[in-house]
Amino acid sequence: MLDNFLSWFYEFMTTMLGGIWKIISNFFLGIGQIFSFGAYFDQFSRYSNSFSALEWILAVLCFVLSLLVWAGLLFLIIIFVRKYIRFRASLVSSEDLLEEIADLHRDVIRLTAEKEKMLQMKLGVSGVSYEQMRELFSDSSNADTEKIEDNEAGPQDESEAESNITGIRFSRLNAVDEKYTYYIPPSYDRSMDLREICEDIRNYACYVSRLFYDIKTIRLMFSGLAATKMILLQGISGTGKTSLPYVMGKYFQNDATIASVQPSWRDRTELFGYFNEFTKKFNETEVLRRIYESTYNDDINIIVLDEMNIARVEYYFAEMLSILEMPDPAEWKIELVPSSWESDPKHLTGGALHIPQNVWYVGTANNDDSTFSVSDKVYDRAMVINLDSKGVEFEPQPTEAKRISYSYVEKLFSRAVADHPVSKDILDKVGKLDLYVIEKFRVAFGNRIMKQLKIFLPVYTACGGDETEALDYLLATKVYRKFESLNLSLIRDEIKGLINFMDVLFGKGRMTECTQFLLRLERTY
């Protein structure tokens, strides 16, 4: 019944599909014919035997022009394809960006709704209408403040209005206030001198934690803390840089606060925190809490900046370095917030925190490719202790922790300066050495180093050390270290002369730290 239709449909589809096949097959046949190099070779062979010189030139030109035309077409096709791919990629990126913008818009709407809910929840605290609350947050002008004051249950001034709206902004510092409400100072040990304290700490570290420190390291630690508030412990990994201040905190029965420095640290907010304008809360750090708590007690408080040069010290610690250099401790203040609220901690004055004297800052530093070099600004203000080797094992005496007050240690420091002043002979030799270094290397000792020297040497002597030994270490770490920034290839011969000059002034082989450092520089460069 459908035979005629089927016959027609078969011929119809055969004709159509046959045409499509001819298009495809002829396309590829045409491509094959264009690049049929064998046919070109046969044609050239048949005619080239009778070519004249001019015909040979024209034939070569035809070949070259043909190649250039096809190369140009291929280049244009490639450019077109690349532009098309880039166009499609830009379209996709634009679509992704529009989707991200839509997501961010939804997040803004959600956060705005949450903020309004938070404002509504606080109405019962402030007694302010919802519309007045929104006006207060959107415009802090005097007219808005007067609206709040006109409310029956509203606060009487702007600071009280903020306090009632946001509550306590220093929760951790206020907790410290509560902790010390009924504080009774402990009974401190005042029976030991500096020599005994150094030996006791060394024994305690070994007895409790199996940490082996040379007695010279402990003496350097105390002498450095007498001359400046900051110690820089540097050297290879595994020599106990972090463990030393940690075990000292255990010994003084007041654990050290250890802050692990991060590579992202850029400013002081990483150490002290910052005020969040949205939540009206201050994001307090453990370092800030420890400094604030130190204003209440007479304990020795140690703050450790672990791996401090994994970020640039002169960025995040710059303000503290400047504060610690001020000659009047009454000026040691850091502003946390621009104004004060009634709910602020007791020891914040006008939004500023007074930095107490009884805090020691200890930084640890590894010198490798993953860290930044410590700048001269930091080296000049800190006392450097190099821990380049593991301590020698020894059998300690049983030793218990001691509760020693900061004021007592400060009194021991002052007594050491009075009882063991730097001898005139040493000062004269240092003056001669200063003139020699200025003449040969254009490097001066500086007033800061001389000030530290007059405290460092007496305290080191009181700790049981030798005055010349202390001077040797101080010169190596505070003066000769500056030679690293010089072009030592030009002054290498002067280094030997400096070593000989020190041997004449102080005696052959007395300045071992300086000599070893200078010889190491000479070999390096």
Q: Among 387, 410, 444, where does a domain finish?
A: 387
Is residue 522 scored above 50 in pLDDT? yes
Give the DSSP letter of residue 372: P
Are residue 455 and residue 507 in the same domain, yes or no? yes
**Encoding tokens for residue 20?**
């499509």
Are residue 154 and residue 208 in the same domain, yes or no? no
pTM: 0.68
Span 457-477, mean pLDDT? 95
**In-domain check, residue 32:** no
Residues 6+ apart with CB under 8 A from 363: 230, 231, 232, 233, 304, 305, 308, 309, 313, 382
- Which one is predicted more confidently, 79 or 489? 79
Helix (H) or strand (E) holding 5: helix 3-34
Angle between helices 424-441 and 447-462 (to 10 degrees): 140
Are residue 220 and residue 135 in the same domain, yes or no? no
Are residue 493 and residue 379 in the same domain, yes or no? no
Q: What is the pLDDT of residues 74-84, one digit of tens each?
A: 888 888 888 87
**Encoding tokens for residue 112?**
């705005």
**In-domain check, residue 478:** yes
Quote the pLDDT of residue 119. 59
Boundaries of domain holding 321: 194-387
Is residue 162 scored above 60 in pLDDT? no
Q: What percent of the chain has pLDDT over 70?
A: 88
**Encoding tokens for residue 268?**
């002081």
**Average pLDDT of the chain to the nearest whole number:** 84
Lowest mean pLDDT among 54-63, 155-164, 184-193, 407-416: 155-164
The sign of the CA dihedral 36, 40, 42, 43 is positive
Is residue 12 scored above 50 in pLDDT? yes
Q: What percent of the chain has pLDDT over 90?
A: 51
Altogether, the residues listed in the chain come to a count of 525
Are residue 157 and residue 211 in the same domain, yes or no? no
Q: Domains in the chain: how many in total?
A: 3
**Encoding tokens for residue 84?**
């098309």
Quote the pLDDT of residue 365. 92
**In-domain check, residue 22:** no
Span 219-224, mean pLDDT? 96
Helix (H) or strand (E) holding 367: none
Question: Given the structure tokens 């030679």, which residue do they identify?
Answer: 483
Are residue 163 and residue 198 in the same domain, yes or no? no
Are residue 375 and residue 431 in the same domain, yes or no? no
Quote the pLDDT of residue 128. 45
Strand bridging mode 301-306 / 348-349: unpaired
Q: What is the pLDDT of residues 84-125, one digit of tens each?
A: 787 777 666 666 777 777 777 777 777 777 766 665 665 444
Are residue 159 and residue 201 in the same domain, yes or no? no
Phi-psi region of 463 (alpha: psi -120 to 50; beta: other; left: phi over 0): alpha
C-alpha distances out from residue 347 to 183, 292, 333, Å: 15, 8, 11
Q: Among 132, 149, 167, where does a domain finish?
A: 167
Under 8 Å between Cβ of 472 and 511: yes
Amino acid, res. 434: D
**In-domain check, residue 131:** yes
CB burial of 86-108 (b: ≥16 within 10 Å; e: otherwise) equals eeeeeeeeeeeeeeeeeeeeeee
Span 342-346, mean pLDDT? 92
Kindly report the CATH number assigned to the domain that includes residue 318. 3.40.50.300
Spatial distance between the Cα atoms of 72 and 75, rounded to a whole number of angstroms: 5
Is residue 134 scored above 60 in pLDDT? no
Are residue 432 and residue 367 in the same domain, yes or no? no
Nearest to 293 by CA among 259, 318, 257: 257
Is residue 156 scored above 60 in pLDDT? no
Under 8 Å between Cβ of 126 and 164: yes
Phi-psi region of 253 (alpha: psi -120 to 50; beta: other; left: phi over 0): left
**In-domain check, residue 285:** yes
Is residue 475 scored above 90 in pLDDT? yes
Span 242-269, mean pLDDT? 94
Quote the pLDDT of residue 130. 44
Is residue 187 scored above 90 in pLDDT? yes
Spatial distance between the Cα atoms of 1 and 23, rounded to a whole number of angstroms: 35
DSSP string, 236-289: STTS-TTHHHHHHHHHTTSPPEEEE--TT--STHHHH-EEETTTTEEE--HHHH
Are residue 218 and residue 120 in the same domain, yes or no? no
Give the DSSP letter of residue 483: G
**In-domain check, residue 411:** no
**In-domain check, residue 412:** no
Is residue 141 scored above 60 in pLDDT? no
- Which one is predicted more confidently, 382 or 50? 382
Quote the pLDDT of residue 15. 81
**In-domain check, residue 277:** yes
Nearest to 514 by CA among 479, 466, 484, 485: 479
Q: What is the pLDDT of residues 21-63, one digit of tens each?
A: 888 878 778 777 777 777 777 777 777 777 788 877 887 888 7
Q: Among 167, 182, 205, where does a domain finish?
A: 167
C-alpha distances out from residue 170 to 167, 276, 320, 346, Å: 9, 11, 21, 11
Are residue 443 and residue 364 in the same domain, yes or no? no
Span 301-328, mean pLDDT? 92
CA 8 to chain centre: 85
Spatial distance between the Cα atoms of 368 and 236, rounded to a whole number of angstroms: 9
Are residue 125 and residue 203 in the same domain, yes or no? no
Spatial distance between the Cα atoms of 391 and 211, rounded to a whole number of angstroms: 8
Is residue 236 scored above 90 in pLDDT? no
Q: What is the pLDDT of residues 256-272, one digit of tens each?
A: 999 999 999 999 999 99
